[in-house]
Amino acid sequence: MHDAYEATAILKKLPLQIESIASFVPDGGSTANLLLGTKVGHLLLYEIDLKKGDNSSVRLLQSVKNFSKKPIIQIAVVPQYHILICLTGYPDNILSVHDMTKARFPALSVVERTRGCHLFTLHVTEETSQTGVVSVIVRLCVAIKKRLQLYYWKNRDFHVLREDLCLPENPKTLVWSGESIFVGMRGGWKEYLRISLTGESEDLFPVGTDGEAKIVAMGQGKIGLMQDKKLVIIKSDVFMKSDVMKSDGQPILDSVTWTDHPVAIECDGPYLVGVMSTGVEIQTIEPRMIIQTLALACESREKPKLMSNCQLGLVFLASNYDVWALKATPFNDQIGQLLRLKQFELALRLSEFGTYVDGEREKLVQYIETLHAFDLFCKFNFQDAMSIFLVLDIDPSNVIGLFPDLLPAVFQNQLNFPDKVPELRGHSLENGLLALKDYLVEVRNRLKDNRSKFSLKPIAEGSTTIRSKEKLLQIIDTTLVKCFLQTTDALVTPFLRLQDNKCHLEETERALTKFGKLSELVILYKANGQHRKALFLLQKQAKRPESPLAGTERTVSYLQHLGQDHLELLFEFSTWVMLENPEDGLKIFVDDVPEVEQLPRARVMSHIRDKAPELLVPYLEHVIFEWKDESPALHDTLAERYQATVQALQNAVGPAGDRLNECRKKLKKFLEFSTCFTPERVLMRLPAEGFYKERAILYEKMGKHDRALAVYVYLLEDLPAAKAYCQRIAKLGEKTAAGEAFLSLLKLMISPPNASVLGSQVTRLKHEENFCADAGLRNAIQLLEEHPTCMDPCQVMKLLPSAVPLEKLFQFFKCNLYHLSKSRKELQLLKGLNYSQLLQVHVQRMELQSQKIVLTELRTCPGCKKRFISHCAFAHYPNGDLVHYSCMEKYENLKL
C-alpha cells in the first residue's frame, strides 16, 4: 500500500454548524474555492491553497450573513456561468439561483415551482460545436415528494425541460448521468430506480437491508450504487434485464466492498474515496484493492458527513464543525511508489490521469510495462512476460540476455536490466526456454514481415539495442537453435533446414557439438554452403559404428543432392564411398534423384573410369538403358567395355563359358538396341575373326546392307536370317533401300562376293571353294517367288545368268506384273477421287465467299447495345450474331 492521499484539517471548530458543502475552481482561476452552507443560513466562501508542509493558506473570501433565513441544505456551483444554486430548508424548501459575480451573491431568480423540494441534482456537460465554440449545458432535476421536475439553464434562468416524472416513493438520493436519472428511494420502498429522460423507468435492485441509498457518478458511462457495504457498478446507459442481472454477467461491471457503511462516496480519478465513521478509505477498482485508510484528526469528535470533489486529486470533507482537505500525492510520485511496490497494474492506471507533455505518457507506460514484464519474468511467469515484451517491441537480444549462456559474453556484458535477474535452472529454466522459443518464433515472423516497422526498445536504460535487422535475425536464429536443443530437439533439424535461416555458423556449430548433434551439424554446414566441412565430418563419422552418421548412407544422400555446381567436391568425396562400398558408390551417380540425373555424364564417366573402373559398366548401363541417354561418347564407351570384357574372357585361360555367353549376349543386345554409338569404331576394334553376328548388326547400323547380307549368307550361312533382314528393312518403309537389299541378297545367292566386300579384316570366306552355283540359283528363284513385288524385274533380269530357263521365272513375273497393274489402278482411282474432292472444296469456297453481312443504322451490338459506326472491327458468329470486336469477351460471358 502506498500513500495516495494526505488529509489536512483546514477548518477546525467552526462556530456555525455546516449543513452543506460545495467546492469548485473558479472559471479562469487556479485555486480551489470552498463554499459552506450553514444551518443558520450563513454562506461562507473560502479560498484554499494547499502547499507542502504548513504553508497552506485558507482565506475567507466572503462571509454572507443572512444569506437565507432558513438552513442551507444543498448548494451547487456552475463556475462557467458564475451561478450558485441553493436549496433552503424548512418551511419554504425552495430553490434559488444566485449571481456569484456580485458581492453577497444576490438572487437572480427563485424557481417558484420548486416549492416543497427536498433534493436536487445538476447535470453539467460541455459540448463543442463544429465551429469550435464550447457551450456548457446545465440541466437540473428537482425532487418534490414523489415527483421529479426537470429544468435547463438558458438566458440566466431555469426553464422547464419536460413534464414531471413520477416516482413510487420519495427519493433519498438522485444522480443525473447521461440521459438517465438514477434514484435511490427512501422509506418502505428502498429500491434503486433508473428513469430515462423519455420517461421509461426500470427497477434496478434493492438498496439493501441496512444503510442508506447512495449513488456515485463515476464517469465513462459508469455509475455506482451502494448496496449494504457494497458499491455495485453498472453501465449507466444500458437497460438491465432482470434475467441478466447476475453478479458476474453484464451489465454489472464490478463491485467494491467497504469495511463499513460509507457516509459518502466520491470518485476521484482512479480512486474511490469513501467516508465512514472510522475515517476515510481509498479503494481502486482495477485492480480491486484497498489502497489506504486515513484517520482524520478531529478535535470536536464530530464525524465527517459531507464530501465534495473539487478537482482531480482534491476532495473536501466536512463534519458539523470541521473541514478537511484530502489532497492526492502527485501522480508521478505515486507511480514511483507503486513501482517500488511492484504494483504495476495500478501504476499504469495512474499514468492515465497525470498530465504529461507530448510522448511522455507513452514513454512512461512503456517503462511501467517493461518493469511489469520483467517482474513477471522474475516470478517465473514466462509466458505473460514474453507476450508483454512482444507488445512493447523490446529488443529480443535484451530478452535473450535474461537467460543464462545464450548470448556471447561480450554482448551480454553490454546489457542492463531493471533489477537483478533471477538464476534459472532445472524446471524453471526449461519453462523459460519454452516461452522464449515461442516468443522468438513470433518475433522472427514479425521481422520477416517487411510491412512492420523496425524500432526496438531496450529492456532498461543503457542497455544496448541492435540496429541491424540482419544481425538481430542472426542472434534470434542462433538462440532458437539453442532453445530447441534444450527443449524439443526434434525441431532442430527442421529449423536448420529453413531456407531463411540466419544462424551464426561458429556459435551454432559450438552448440550442436556440445549436445553431440552430429546429424544436425551436417545440416547446418549444408545450409551454410560449407559442403566440404559437412562431407569431411560424414567421412570421419562413417567408420564409427556408434555414431549416428555411421556408414556410407548419409554421404551418399548428401552427394546426391549436391548437384552439378559442386562437381569437384562430389568427385572428391565419392571416391572413398566407391572404394568402401561400390554398390552405394554407384548410387551417388545413378539414383532416382533429379540432381543426380542432371550431372554431366561424360565427366562422371571419366571420374568413375579413373577411380572405380569396375563401376563404369553398371553406370553406363543405367545411363543408357534407364535414362535413355543418347550421347555417342557414352554409347561408344559402353560398347568398348563390352568388347573388352568379351575379349578378355575369350583370352582367359580356363572355362568361362557362361560368363562369356552372357557378355556376348549383352554386347549383341546393346548393339541392336543402341542407335547412338559409332559402328565404325566398334567394327575397327573387333578381332579379325569371329563376332559375325555383331559384325552383321554393325553393318546394318552403318547402312551397308550388302556387307551385312554377305555376313549372313556366307559367314553365318543363315539364309532365313538374311531374308528376315531384308524384310526388316522393307518394314522400315524405305522402298528403294528394301529393293536394293533384296537385290543384294539375290546377287549374293547367285555369285559369291569378293573378299573386299566383307572388309579387309575378314580375309577368308568360309566354303568359298565349295560354292554350289546350282543351289544358289535355286535359292535365288525361291527368293523371287517369295518376294516377287520387292524387286525391280529389270534389275533382276540383269543379275540372273542367261542360262536360267524363263519358265522358272513365270511365277515371279506373273506376281510382279499383277502387282504393278494393281498399284496403277489404285493410283488412277485415287487421282479421280482427289479431283472430285477438289471440286467440292471449290464449291464450298464459293459459297462462303458469297456470304455477306448488311449493316444498317438499326443494327445494334448485343454486347454494348450501341450501333455499328463505320470503320469498326466486329465479330460475326455462325448463328448470325454480330458484335463489336471489343465486346466479344463481354458478349461471350453474357451468353454463358
Partner 1 sequence: MSSRKKVLLKVIILGDSAVGKTSLMNQYVNKKFSNQYKATIGADFLTKEVMVDDRLVTMQIWDTAGQERFQSLGVAFYRGADCCVLVYDVSAPNTFKSLESWRDEFLIQASPRDPDNFPFVVIGNKVDLENRSVPAKRAQQWCQQKNGIPYFETSAKENVNVEQAFQTVAKNALAQETEVELYNEFPDQIKLTNDQRGGANRNDTCNC
Give the binding site for partner 1 (CB under 8 A). Answer: 229, 256-259, 287-290, 437-438, 441-442, 445-446, 448-449, 488, 490-491, 494-495, 497-499, 592, 594
Residue 729 per-residue DSSP state: H
What's the closest the beta carbon of residue 768 comes to partner 1, in angstroms?
A: 56
355 alpha-carbon distance from chain centroid: 40
- Closer Cβ to partner 1, 358 or 500, answer by number: 500
864 alpha-carbon distance from chain centroid: 44
What's the closest the beta carbon of residue 491 comes to partner 1, in angstroms?
A: 5
Query: Residue 298 to residues 12, 303, 322, 552, 779: CA-CA distances in angstroms?
Result: 8, 8, 8, 94, 149
What's the closest the beta carbon of residue 634 comes to partner 1, in angstroms?
A: 23
- Closer Cβ to partner 1, 56 or 493, answer by number: 493
Instruction: Please tell me the distance from the alpha carbon of residue 864 to that of residue 883, in angstroms, as a whole number.
Output: 8
Question: At residue 261, what are phi and psi to the nearest 5 degrees?
Answer: -75, 120
- Closer Cβ to partner 1, 497 or 825, answer by number: 497
Q: If you write DSSP's letter for every residue of 321-341 in order, what string do you get?
A: S-EEEEEEPPHHHHHHHHHHT
What's the closest the beta carbon of residue 437 comes to partner 1, in angstroms?
A: 7
Pairing of strands 32-38, 72-78: unpaired
Q: If you write DSSP's letter for every residue of 653-681 in order, what string do you get?
A: SS--HHHHHHHHHHHHHHHHH-SSS-HHH
Helices (H), 487-615: 492-497, 505-514, 518-527, 531-542, 553-560, 567-580, 582-590, 594-597, 601-611
User: Which grid cell sits at 892?
Assistant: 461471350
Instruction: Please tell me the distance from the alpha carbon of residue 357 to that of residue 361, in angstroms, as a whole number.
Output: 7
User: Which grid cell sits at 197?
Assistant: 429522460
Q: If you write DSSP's letter for every residue of 311-322 in order, what string do you get?
A: ETTEEEEE-SS-
- Closer Cβ to partner 1, 400 or 596, answer by number: 596
What's the closest the beta carbon of residue 484 comes to partner 1, in angstroms?
A: 9
What's the closest the beta carbon of residue 289 comes to partner 1, in angstroms?
A: 6
- Closer Cβ to partner 1, 583 or 734, answer by number: 583
What's the closest the beta carbon of residue 586 comes to partner 1, in angstroms?
A: 18
Query: Residue 172 to residues 27, 110, 167, 193, 215: CA-CA distances in angstroms?
Result: 31, 23, 12, 11, 10
What's the closest the beta carbon of residue 480 comes to partner 1, in angstroms?
A: 8
Give the list of residues 6+ apart from residue 445 with CB closer than 8 angstroms, or none: none
- Closer Cβ to partner 1, 209 or 499, answer by number: 499
Give the list of residues 6+ apart from residue 592 with CB closer than 8 angstroms, or none: none
Instruction: Please tell me the distance from the alpha carbon of residue 100 to that of residue 102, in angstroms, as a whole number.
Output: 5
Task: Please say whether the beta carbons of 105 and 61 come within 8 A.
Answer: no
SS3 at position 60: strand
Question: At residue 195, what are phi and psi to the nearest 5 degrees?
Answer: -120, 125
- Closer Cβ to partner 1, 497 or 859, answer by number: 497
- Closer Cβ to partner 1, 180 or 284, answer by number: 284
Which uninterrupted H or E stretch holds 827?
Answer: helix 810-849
What are the contacts of 863-868 at 24+ separation with CB within 8 A?
A: 863/887, 863/888, 863/890, 863/891, 863/894, 864/890
What's the closest the beta carbon of residue 365 comes to partner 1, in angstroms?
A: 23
SS3 at position 872: coil
- Closer Cβ to partner 1, 256 or 749, answer by number: 256
- Closer Cβ to partner 1, 262 or 759, answer by number: 262
What's the closest the beta carbon of residue 317 comes to partner 1, in angstroms?
A: 21
What's the closest the beta carbon of residue 1 comes to partner 1, in angstroms?
A: 10
What's the closest the beta carbon of residue 508 comes to partner 1, in angstroms?
A: 15
Query: Residue 626 to residues 343, 612, 890: CA-CA distances in angstroms?
Result: 75, 21, 51
- Closer Cβ to partner 1, 440 or 745, answer by number: 440
Positive or negative torsion for Cα 707, 713, 716, 718: positive
* Radius of gyration (C-alpha) of the chain in whole angstroms: 55
Question: At residue 762, what are phi and psi to the nearest 5 degrees?
Answer: -85, 105
What's the closest the beta carbon of residue 23 comes to partner 1, in angstroms?
A: 29
What's the closest the beta carbon of residue 509 comes to partner 1, in angstroms?
A: 20
Q: Angle 518-527/553-560 helices, nearest 10 degrees? A: 10
- Closer Cβ to partner 1, 301 or 451, answer by number: 451
What's the closest the beta carbon of residue 8 comes to partner 1, in angstroms?
A: 26
- Closer Cβ to partner 1, 499 or 770, answer by number: 499
What's the closest the beta carbon of residue 6 comes to partner 1, in angstroms?
A: 22
- Closer Cβ to partner 1, 46 or 258, answer by number: 258
Instruction: Please tell me the distance from the alpha carbon of residue 58 to that of residue 718, in angstroms, as a whole number.
Output: 140
Query: Residue 804 to residues 404, 797, 801, 814: CA-CA distances in angstroms?
Result: 111, 10, 6, 17
- Closer Cβ to partner 1, 274 or 863, answer by number: 274
Instruction: Please tell me the distance from the alpha carbon of residue 23 to that of residue 47, in angstroms, as a whole number.
Output: 10
Nearest to 776 by CA among 724, 703, 722: 722
- Closer Cβ to partner 1, 485 or 783, answer by number: 485
Residue 157 per-residue DSSP state: E
What's the closest the beta carbon of residue 382 comes to partner 1, in angstroms?
A: 15
Q: Specify which residues 148 forms β-bridges with.
A: 143, 165
- Closer Cβ to partner 1, 143 or 338, answer by number: 338
What's the closest the beta carbon of residue 741 comes to partner 1, in angstroms?
A: 40
Q: Specify which residues 43 forms β-bridges with.
A: 37, 64
Q: Cβ atoms within 10 A of the Cβ of 336, count?
A: 14
Instruction: Please tell me the distance from the alpha carbon of residue 533 to that of residue 96, in angstroms, as a whole number.
Output: 97
- Closer Cβ to partner 1, 120 or 403, answer by number: 403
Looking from the CA of 859 toward its CB, the CA atoms found within 13 Å total: 14
